[in-house]
């Protein structure tokens, strides 16, 4: 009798698990909303468009940090990276570590505690995060840890919060899956790598995007290098869409689609001179689509949302209590009241010290630069290694950049405050902070930012000890450029810049 009761209980539990929705997150590197469902005309993205038509598309979605590790630290906890001390890019990697506050738990742990099977990978059994066949990893069993997807968290975490790289081994459990894709990084590398990527695009998609037809922000010169890069970037969008379509086809073939909540986002905008790492729309605005059980189909929402909301949305969708301390909101919850403002922060990126904060409402973007005496494009080995940045620096040196590019990208200093009317000025070109007609908007958003920094317990500037700890990791492989930049950062700090 006892064995019968145990067996019945086990069957009941498995059945109960099966009724709970699965959750799939698509998290894509370095990509802005250049999808046809968001208005991109030069390419077509049928898979992401399909998600939008079958679910709810958010048109004003933004990240809280425009760089990988800080953004990912925020999205996996549902918290501002500035609150949990994970706001400096690739921090806590040296001898000094970063630990989460006691009341903050990573989302995969919450799913595990609720009986979910947690996984992070490519979403496909035979292709990796680039959409290429898995390469054999030395010293690691095929199908093992080498197939886990990108994490890049700036805090200490237990690898056991992920059960696998794929949901195939879940048994009778529902699953929480993160599909991590290479996105805009697909087009990066030296000239040979970019040529190889273009060949791959033609082989898989039949043609490459015509660089002569590319349109991009008016502050970039229409130089052949930049045009070709943007065309390759759009092709990375197309290949990302192809990968998404393959994952959706797998869910359908396994009979999982109808009971799976899907969220599609990117971790920040396109990697460019005013995109990734910066708080303009090009760096912070992202696609955000939610589809699945109970989600309104074909809906378009224009209210302000953030990537940290995906944590609360997912927990709410499967009936897991959202922690009281979580700053992300379940924007699909009944009775949800839209925000009147959202916030973002940019801090140290690699060796380059920076501190910028922003707040935006439905019309205006306010940015505060804590180091206005430094140029917009501070020296940074990562960004300066890109052909698009090298080209613009060369044009600047030769005096061949258009005036707008010179002003926005290569001024020696910046204004301490910036204010943009994002409706009238979608590329954030005209700074209104000193225009008396916009004094009310400036003061309102200045006050909003002050209140947010205090209430969210913004951890602020990085200590000298933590900077030195992390830089010790950066220079383990000798890199004269990084070492020069570190010395410059220290010199500028002494000078009060």
Q: Is 219 within 8 Å of 232 (Cβ atoms)?
A: no
For the segment 70-121, what is each residue's pLDDT rounded down to a tens digit? 999 999 999 999 999 999 999 999 999 999 999 999 999 999 999 999 999 9
How many residues make up the chain in this entry? 497
Q: What is the pTM of this model?
A: 0.94
**What per-residue confidence (pLDDT) applies to 267?**
98
For the segment 301-321, what is each residue's pLDDT rounded down to a tens digit? 999 999 999 999 999 999 999
**What per-residue confidence (pLDDT) applies to 423?**
97
Residue 147 φ then ψ, to 5° = -95, 0
User: Alpha carbon of 212 to those of 131, 169, 186, 242: distances in Å?
Assistant: 27, 47, 21, 24
Q: Which residues of the chain have pLDDT under 50?
A: 1-17, 137-141, 143-145
* Nearest one of 286, 220, 285, 280 to 430, comparing CA atoms: 280
**What per-residue confidence (pLDDT) applies to 19?**
82
**What per-residue confidence (pLDDT) applies to 135?**
74
**What per-residue confidence (pLDDT) applies to 22?**
98
d(C-alpha 105, C-alpha 101), whole Å: 8
d(C-alpha 283, C-alpha 306), whole Å: 13
DSSP, collapsed to helix, strand or coil, labels residue 28 as strand
In order of their start, the domains of the chain are 22-494 (3.40.720.10)
**What per-residue confidence (pLDDT) applies to 5?**
38
d(C-alpha 388, C-alpha 402), whole Å: 15
Interhelix angle 480-494/464-474, rounded to 10 degrees, is 170
């Amino acid at each position: 009798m006892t064995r019968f009761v145990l067996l019945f209980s086990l069957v009941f539990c498995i059945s109960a698990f099966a009724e709970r929705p699965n959750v799939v997150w698509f998290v894509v590197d370095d990509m802005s909303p250049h999808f046809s469902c968001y208005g991109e005309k030069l390419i077509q993205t049928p898979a992401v468009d399909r998600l939008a038509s079958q679910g709810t598309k958010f048109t004003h979605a933004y990240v809280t940090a425009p760089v990988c590790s800080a953004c990912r630290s925020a999205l996996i906890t549902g918290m501002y990276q500035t609150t949990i001390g994970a706001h400096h890019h690739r921090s806590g990697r040296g001898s000094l570590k970063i630990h989460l506050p006691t009341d903050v738990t990573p989302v995969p742990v919450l799913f595990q505690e609720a009986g979910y099977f947690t996984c992070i990978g490519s979403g496909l059994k035979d292709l990796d995060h680039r959409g290429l066949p898995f390469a054999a990893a030395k010293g690691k069993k095929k199908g093992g840890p080498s197939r886990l997807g990108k994490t890049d968290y700036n805090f200490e975490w237990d690898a056991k919060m992920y059960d696998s790289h794929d949901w195939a081994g879940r048994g009778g459990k529902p699953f929480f899956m993160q599909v991590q894709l290479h996105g805009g990084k697909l087009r990066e590398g030296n000239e040979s790598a970019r040529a190889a990527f273009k060949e791959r695009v033609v082989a898989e998609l039949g043609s490459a995007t015509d660089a002569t037809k590319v349109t991009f922000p008016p502050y970039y010169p229409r130089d052949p290098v930049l045009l070709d890069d943007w065309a390759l970037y759009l092709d990375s969008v197309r290949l990302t869409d192809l990968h998404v379509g393959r994952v959706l086809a797998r869910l359908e073939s396994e009979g999982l689609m109808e009971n799976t909540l899907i969220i599609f986002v990117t971790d920040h905008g396109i990697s460019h001179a005013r995109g990734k790492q910066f708080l303009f729309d090009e760096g912070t605005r992202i696609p955000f689509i939610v589809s699945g059980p109970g989600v309104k189909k074909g809906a378009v929402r224009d209210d302000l949302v953030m990537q940290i909301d995906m944590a609360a949305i997912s927990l709410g969708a499967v009936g897991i209590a959202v922690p009281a301390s979580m700053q992300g909101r379940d924007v699909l919850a009944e009775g949800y009241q839209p925000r009147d403002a959202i916030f973002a922060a940019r801090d140290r990126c690699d060796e380059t010290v920076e501190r910028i904060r922003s707040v935006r409402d439905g019309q205006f973007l306010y940015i505060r630069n804590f180091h206005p005496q430094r140029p917009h494009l501070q020296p940074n080995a990562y960004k300066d290694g890109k052909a698009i940045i090298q080209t613009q620096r060369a044009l600047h040196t030769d005096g061949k950049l258009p005036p707008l590019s010179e002003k926005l990208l290569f001024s020696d200093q910046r204004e301490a405050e910036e204010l943009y009317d994002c409706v009238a000025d979608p590329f954030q070109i005209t700074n209104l902070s000193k225009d008396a007609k916009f004094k009310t908007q400036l003061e309102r958003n200045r006050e909003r930012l002050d209140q947010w920094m205090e209430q969210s317990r913004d951890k602020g500037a990085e200590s000298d000890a933590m900077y030195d700890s992390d830089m010790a990791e950066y220079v383990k492989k000798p890199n004269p450029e990084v070492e020069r930049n570190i010395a410059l950062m220290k010199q500028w700090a002494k000078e009060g810049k």
